[in-house]
């Protein structure tokens, strides 16, 4: 599903390349097509790599339009191959592109906030101790849960860790999946985008994580976490 598309009338000239592999080919194609390579304040960003590169670039440059050139499998409508890059850049110069917006999630705990494009996780800290927690969402309570944690995902992230823990891909809303839940089997489910997810740790320790962000919040017994739709969005360049 294509979310909140708008045409791309803005002329995109300055580009920053974010990569995990050798990006010399990407840079040379950009120069050949007449784009200016910059290190700050870009009009758009080329993400050359896998999903981790996309998550990193959105965290460092939130909201700036991104063109995704994948070095791994493509799984979204705006994942493109390096072999298509010259054609895509020609379309950008002509203004023949659209912007696809994706929602993000934000979580708060202990006076701190994290923002994620893929997912927010509560994950066990020590592998020898399961996390015991309770969950509340849309008036429904889930008490005395024990396991490795919880994944709260966006539709963008539904092809990642959320799917790996038993969730099915979805196009709209917020997905909730349980990581290795003990004693009880609760299937993953999707709630509306305006839902507020609340989790209380009754036995830790645990970590509160956002995407592949190395900064995290340590949780102990009694700590409460809220997860909701963020006011910030991610923008991706899309070609119909």
What per-residue confidence (pLDDT) applies to 107? 97
Give the per-residue pLDDT at 2. Answer: 46
Please give the pLDDT value at position 1.
Answer: 42
Residue 204 confidence (pLDDT): 78
For the chain, residues with pLDDT lower than 70 are 1-9, 73-75
Q: Which domains does the chain have, with CATH numbers?
A: 6-102 (3.40.50.10330), 104-231 (2.60.200.30)
Supply the pLDDT for residue 178.
Answer: 94
Identify whether the C-beta of residue 105 lies closer than 8 Å to the C-beta of residue 227. yes
166 touches 187 (CB < 8 A): yes
pLDDT tens, position by position, 90-140: 999 999 999 999 999 999 999 999 999 999 999 998 888 899 999 999 889
pLDDT of residue 198: 97
């Amino acid at each position: 599903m294509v979310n909140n598309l708008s045409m791309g009338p803005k002329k995109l000239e300055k580009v920053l390349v974010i990569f995990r592999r050798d990006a010399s080919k990407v840079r040379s194609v950009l120069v050949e097509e007449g784009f200016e390579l910059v290190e700050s304040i870009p009009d758009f960003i080329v993400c050359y790599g896998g999903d981790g590169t996309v998550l990193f670039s959105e965290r460092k440059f939130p909201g700036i339009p991104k063109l995704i050139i994948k070095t791994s499998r493509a799984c979204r409508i705006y994942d493109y191959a390096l072999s298509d890059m010259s054609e895509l850049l020609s379309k950008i110069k002509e203004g023949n592109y659209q912007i696809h917006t994706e929602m993000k999630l934000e979580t708060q705990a202990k006076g701190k906030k994290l923002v994620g494009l893929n997912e927010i996780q509560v994950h066990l800290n020590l592998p020898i101790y399961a996390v015991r927690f309770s969950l509340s969402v849309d008036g429904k309570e889930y008490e005395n849960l024990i396991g490795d944690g919880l994944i709260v995902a966006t539709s963008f992230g539904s092809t990642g860790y959320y799917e790996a823990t038993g969730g099915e891909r979805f196009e709209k809303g917020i997905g909730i999946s349980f990581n290795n839940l003990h004693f009880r089997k609760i299937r993953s489910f999707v709630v509306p985008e305006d839902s507020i997810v609340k989790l209380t740790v009754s036995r830790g320790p645990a970590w509160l994580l956002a995407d592949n962000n190395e900064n995290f919040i340590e949780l102990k017994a009694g700590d409460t976490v809220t997860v909701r739709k963020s006011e910030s969005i991610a923008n991706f360049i899309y070609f119909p």
